[in-house]
Structure 1
Amino acid sequence: MVAKIITGKTIGGVIRYNEQKVKHGQAKLLQMGGFAVKNLTVNDKIQIFKQVQKLNKRTKTNTVHISLNFSPKDKVNEFTLQRIAEDYLKGIGFENQPYLLYQHFDAAHPHIHLVTTNITWEGKRIETHNLGKIKSEKTRREIEGRYQLVKAEEQRKQKVNLLQSLEKAAYGKRETKASISNIVQEVIRTYQFASLPELNAVLEQFNVCAYRGEKESDMFKKSGLVYSILDAAGNRVGVPVKASSIYSSPTLPRLEKMFFRNKEARKQHRETLRGQIQEVLKSCSSLDEFTSRLRPKGIKPVFRINEEGRLYGVTYIDNVNRCVFNGSALGKDLSANSLSARFSLNADLPYDLEREQEVKMGWHGNEPGKRTQLVESSPNSYQTEDPTPYELKQKKKKKRKKRIQ
């Protein structure tokens, strides 16, 4: 069991986040601890917590949001989850605190969320500094033994192909924002990618994409980012969701910081992935065979082929170890140009252009704040919703102003 503790200042936001999950069928309220009345509205729940928090106005960080994550191998029913939650709260010193227990169904593994406060009914503050390292770790190990759960250390080592456990987005099937949020949060939480195109390579497997807008747009200039559902043809459909409106806030500035960290973190998987791909490549005679033989290993190559049939880019996604590499990052023999030559796919593209041309949908950067603009767009690059050129929009705005005057 993996326990994660987040402290904050807005109890309302945390409760609304969980209640939204309930509203869309992605979570269930299992238990309300410390509440005299059970049939409460969302606002009622928030107000009760706020009344407790007002007993100590000096403490600003007064909200505690805990998630307990279990292995897919753990067989935990609702009753067991309630008992585990009670034992955990007691172990960390929160047994007398009001709390809400939610079971979530939006990830590939069973998990619950606990919402509580570190302000007691007497107005005292429960110390949360090092709560995770000291009390939580001890309690977690005791619960693992008591309920015969997969240990956190083993759970982190388990390798599960996310493609087999995370539902793809389908426009009109579920509420757009909820569907996108589930996929985006799970991918960003578990995958190691070092650029926006690499992130999109993963997201597109689940019919979702991150979009910056056209280079001339205000959204692009202001480092904005939205997420959209893709149809079967790879076109964006429906109303896009702002990155800032998703609970984990996967905005461009936040992603930039992750790119740099992930570039180092994924190195541990490079040689293993490279070896697996090379072994398969030895006996393949076509791209189709190459793709199909990598599939059982949880590896998906994403090829970029232009209108002339020229292969100009390849990205490898390891859905088991949850990492992404451009072909050139794994080695010259696994690059687009090398594959083109091997399978006779118009192999006349210089090797040093692969990395440049694999960059699609805006920019590529391995360090925060450093961006390289796209030189040549992919034929599959997403178009803006409004085809009106930026220059014409500006002219229209000017004319309107003149008329008003």
Structure 2
Amino acid sequence: MVAKIIIGKNIRGILHYNEQKVSEGNATLIMASGFAADIGKLNFHNKLQRFEHLTSLKPSVETNALHISLNFHASEKLDDTKMQQIAAAYMERIGFGEQPFLVYRHSDVSHQHFHIATVNIKRDGTPINLHNIAKIESEQARKAIEETFGLIRAESKKYRVDPSIKAIDPEKVKYGHLPSKRAISNVVTEVKNNYRFTSLAEFNAVLRQFNVTADRGHEDSEMFRKKGLLYSLLDHQGNKIGVPIKASSFYDKPILSRLEKKFEKNAENRKVHRGDLKKRIDQVLNKYERLTKQTLLSELQKKGIALVFRENGEGFIYGITFVDHLRKTVFNGSSLGKSYSAKAIKELLNDSDRIRTYLKSPSTATGYLKLTQQKKYRSNTEKTPAPSHSISSTKELLIALLTPEHPDFNPHFKQKKRKRKGKPRHL
């Protein structure tokens, strides 16, 4: 099970997102804990009023809304009752058992998952401390629930991670089966709220995984100078299709100035996941002496990583970006280290695959490069033929070893100790 907590200040936006999923047929409200009415009798106003009443008790706490998602392995099939039990146990363990919360079961991706909406202001007006809640309380709760309910552990090798966002099918949009604005809004909102990116280029690296892109226009354009942003759909070849939509026209306003506020914050928050990403990349790089571009992409995908090549008009690769769907982080190759830069990765690419045959794998890509240099050195020295021996039996081998090379050799001869010359005696 993978748990994700997003802390914010807009419970209305969290509710609107989940309720819109319900109206689209991609989600169902399966639990309303702490509400005085049955699920079927609750409307949007009832739900929002319950939360806003609590947040009004402590207006000085602006960051008071939590949007939590619990994701399960694709092989796990859980009914509503089991999900309700898991949700109640999780909220109890993170200290929110007495808080009102709503649980929405989503069905828009291949693996089962649900979202929880709540606030951290209690009935007496005191706030629940959110410091390190995702790192400490949530992780402990996740592990305990995995054991209690017999779920596949997130650290298990069986746990394969797929992106929690479904890529837009441009054909459905083209023929009117899916409104383009709504489709783009769903993708942009999910990426903006869940992934840690530090630039517009990194933001686009994630969006392109789901057939969406954000464009500022030409550098000499009025839109670029005013920091305008247009969102467009992409076809399967990565070309823009349809009419671009202004960022300001979406409900949550994913304009550039708002994205830029997240860049610095994301740069700090993603640091904790840097080492884990490098480790999983190394597991792929250490496996091969050389490999094709397609094999590299496929092997990284198995680790929950998407590799985006940045190319110019002539097809020259000048940069690469790693999108980690497991930890929801984005890193340029060079920011991970020299061994993960576009230049280092290009040196590994070949027309065919060759699996590495050495006994011990280096633990990092840097170790891999050192090993490659050592191998080249060994291959050069091996060109000089080693002296051959004609000894074919143990007896001949012993004779050869015990026979002195010099005829005057005497193993029992002991050299006389040379007398140490001392100072001359004075008579």
Q: TM-score, structure 2 length as denominator?
A: 0.59
Percent identical: 34
Q: 1:237 aligned to 237, 242, 260, which one?
A: 242
Q: Is the 8 A contact 1:193 1:325 kept in 2?
A: no
Deviation at 1:145, TM superposition (A): 0.9
Write the letter of the residue equivalent to 2:145: I
Give the structure 2 partner of residue 206 of structure 1.
210
8 Å CA contact retained: 2:205, 2:323: no
> What displacement does 1:83 show?
0.9
Provide the rounded CA distance (Å) in 2 between the counterparts of 1:295 and 1:270.
11
**What is the match of residue 343 of structure 2?**
331
Structure 2 unaligned blocks of 5 or more:
352-427
Measured in 1, the distance between the counterparts of 2:312 and 2:97 equals 59
TM-superposed deviation, 1:129: 3.9
How far apart, CA to CA, are the structure 2 residues paired with 1:250 and 1:72?
34
The aligned residue for residue 82 of structure 2 is: 80
**Which one has a bigger Cα radius of gyration?**
2
- SS of the aligned residue for 1:16 comes to helix
**TM-score between the two structures when normalised by the length of structure 1:** 0.62
Relative to structure 1, the CA distance from residue 92 to residue 20 in structure 2 (aligned partners, 3 Å threshold; closer, same or farther) is same
Equivalent positions of 1:103-252 (< 5 A) are: 103-107=105-109, 109-154=111-156, 158-160=159-161, 162=163, 166-170=166-170, 171=173, 172-184=176-188, 196-197=200-201, 200=204, 203-231=207-235, 234-240=239-245, 242=247, 245=250, 249=254, 251=256, 252=259
Distance of 2:10 and 2:230 partners within structure 1: 24
Task: Flag structure 1 segments of 5+ consecutive residues without an equivalent.
Answer: 282-289, 341-405
* Contact 1:229–1:240 (8 Å) recurs in 2: no
Describe the shift of the 1:13–1:271 C-alpha distance in structure 2 as closer, same or farther (beyond 3 A): closer
**1:14: Cα distance to partner?**
2.1
Distance in structure 1 (CA, Å) of the matches to 2:133 and 2:309? 43
In the aligned structure 1, how far is the partner of 2:3 from the partner of 2:263?
A: 26
Q: Does 1:280 align with 2:291?
A: yes
Cross-structure match for 1:33: 33
Residue-by-residue CA offset, 1:13-43 (whole Å, 9 max, x unaligned): 2212221222223322111122222312212
Shift of 1:60: 4.5
C-alpha distance in structure 2 between counterparts of 1:128 and 1:332, whole Å: 41
Instruction: Kindly report which structure 2 residues correspond to 1:357-368, keeping only aligned pairs within 5 A, or say none.
Output: none
Shift of 1:101: 0.9
Of structures 1 and 2, the one with the larger relative CO (CA 8 A, separation 6+) is: 1
SS in 1 for 2:316: strand
CA distance in 1, matches of 2:345, 2:128: 57
Q: Secondary structure at the match of 1:64?
A: strand
Where do residues 291-306 of structure 1 align in structure 2 (5 Å cutoff)? 291=294, 296-297=298-299, 298=301
Residue 253 (structure 1) aligns with: 260
Distance change >3 Å, CA 119–CA 316, structure 1 → 2: closer
Q: Is the 8 A contact 1:159 1:321 kept in 2?
A: no
The answer to whether the 8 Å contact 2:6/2:194 transfers is no
Contact 1:277 1:294 in 2 (8 A): no
Amino acid at match of 2:80: E
Deviation at 1:232? 5.4
Aligned residues: 325
Conservation of the 8 A alpha-carbon contact between 1:2 and 1:70: yes
- CA pair 330-62 structure 1, distance change in 2 beyond 3 A: closer
Task: For 1:199 and 1:87, locate their aligned partners in 2 and report how far apart those are by CA, in whole Å.
Answer: 34
Given that residues 199 and 260 in structure 2 are in contact (C-alpha distance below 8 angstroms), is that contact kept between their aligned partners in structure 1?
Answer: no
Instruction: Decide whether the 8 Å contact of 1:70 with 1:111 is kept in 2.
Output: yes
Contact 2:231/2:244 (<8 A) preserved: no
Cα 1:50–1:253 shift into 2, 3 Å? closer
Task: Tell me the secondary structure at the aligned position of residue 74 of structure 2.
Answer: coil
Aligned equivalents of 2:316 and 2:350: distance in 1?
10
Q: Could you report, residue by residue, the CA deviation over 1:204-235 in whole angstroms, capped at 9, with x for unpaired residues?
A: 45322121112222331233333211245613
Q: 1:178 to 1:145 in 2, by over 3 A?
A: farther
Given that residues 205 and 308 in structure 2 are in contact (C-alpha distance below 8 angstroms), is that contact kept between their aligned partners in structure 1?
A: no
SS at match of 2:115: strand
